[in-house]
Structure 1
Amino acid sequence: MDSIDEAIIRCVVRNARATYSEIGREAGLSASAAKRRLDRLVKSGAIRGFTALVDPQSLAWHTEAYVEVYCTGNPTPADLLTALEDIPEVVEACTVSGAADALLYMLAKDIPHLEQAIQRVRATKPIDRTESTIVLSRLLNRPRLH
């Protein structure tokens, strides 16, 4: 990865809908060269996908929570992914160090909806229990490089 690839990545992280012309302008390339480089970054896996950052308020899902997940046995990350991927309220999930096996970021329209979603999380194997922290206010929310 060189400085041109890094410029391309910065551009699409800032605006996933940037045109090849815009990407090229930021990276010092023609639009066609920018397309080739971007395609190569996607093919290599350096860029895993393109996304939209959606304001949860616009979905009317106003309730946010971080949920620690504790499992029985020693599940693999793939086991946890399989257990969680069909629960749409789970927006992000990651394995973590410490006592918990995983940490989830969840969105729901209200507390009853969140409670139902957490119950669905708890009902999946290999999950044993959860501990939840509800977000009261969001102080900072920056886009991340993935």
Structure 2
Amino acid sequence: MDDIDRKILSLLAADARRALSDIGAEVGLSPSAVNERIRRMTARGVIRRFTVEVDPAAMGLPVPVFLWVALREDADEGAFRAFASAHPAIAECHHVTGAWSYLLKLHLPDLAAIEPLLEQIKAQRFLARSETILALSSPVPAPMLPR
């Protein structure tokens, strides 16, 4: 990857619907050259997918919550991962080092929705302990931009 690829990624991250001709004008390449670079980055896995960024608050999920989870010793980790992948409130699931097993990022409609989610995790016999952290604000946006 060179500086032109990084610039193309930054432009796509800001607006994935931007015309190839506009991107080309910014980076000094023809639209077909831009398209070829995008195709190569996609083939190499640099670009994983093109998607839509949705505002959780606009979808009725204004409460961002982080949940540290320590799994029980006898928990089925594969089943926990499947549960986390399928649960609509769980936006991200990270397997982490240290005292915790996983860090989950949740988008919830209100604070009252935390307890039922914890009860669901407990009912599956996954949870040894947890810690819930409310995000007051998110000054750095979630999408990763190349630096």
| TM norm structure 1 | 0.83
Aligned residue pairs total 145
| Structure 2, unpaired ranges of 5+ | none
Letter in 2 for 1:44: R
Aligned to 2:64: 64
Q: How does 1:113-124 map to 2 (within 5 A)?
A: 113-124=113-124
Aligned to 1:106: 106
Cα distance in 1 between the residues matched to 2:49 and 2:111: 32
Aligned to 2:53: 53
Aligned to 1:43: 43
Aligned to 2:140: 141
CA drift at 1:16: 2.1
1:12 aligns with 2:15: no
Q: 1:76–1:4: structure 2 CA closer, same or farther, 3 Å change rule? A: farther
Cα distance in 2 between the residues matched to 1:115 and 1:66: 13
1:86 aligns with 2:86: yes
Q: Which has the higher contact order (CA 8 A, sep 6+)?
A: 2
Instruction: Report the secondary structure of 1:93's partner residue.
Output: strand
Question: In angstroms, what is the RMSD of aligned CA positions?
Answer: 2.5
Instruction: Report the secondary structure of 1:6's partner residue.
Output: helix
Q: 1:8–1:134: structure 2 CA closer, same or farther, 3 Å change rule? A: same
| Structure 1, unpaired ranges of 5+ | none
Q: 1:19–1:101: structure 2 CA closer, same or farther, 3 Å change rule? A: same
Identity %: 28
What whole-Å deviation, never above 9, does each CA across 1:96-129 have from its counterpart, x for those lacking one?
A: 2220111111011112323222332334464433
What whole-Å deviation, never above 9, does each CA across 1:30-87 have from its counterpart, x for those lacking one?
A: 1122111101111110111123332222111122210001113498986653231000
Q: 1:76–1:56: structure 2 CA closer, same or farther, 3 Å change rule? A: same
Letter in 1 for 2:5: D
Q: 1:78–1:25: structure 2 CA closer, same or farther, 3 Å change rule? A: farther
What whole-Å deviation, never above 9, does each CA across 1:121-146 have from its counterpart, x for those lacking one?
A: 334464433211122x2151324238
More displaced, 18-27 or 78-87? 78-87
Segments of 4+ in structure 1 off by > 4 A?
A: 74-80
Letter in 1 for 2:82: T
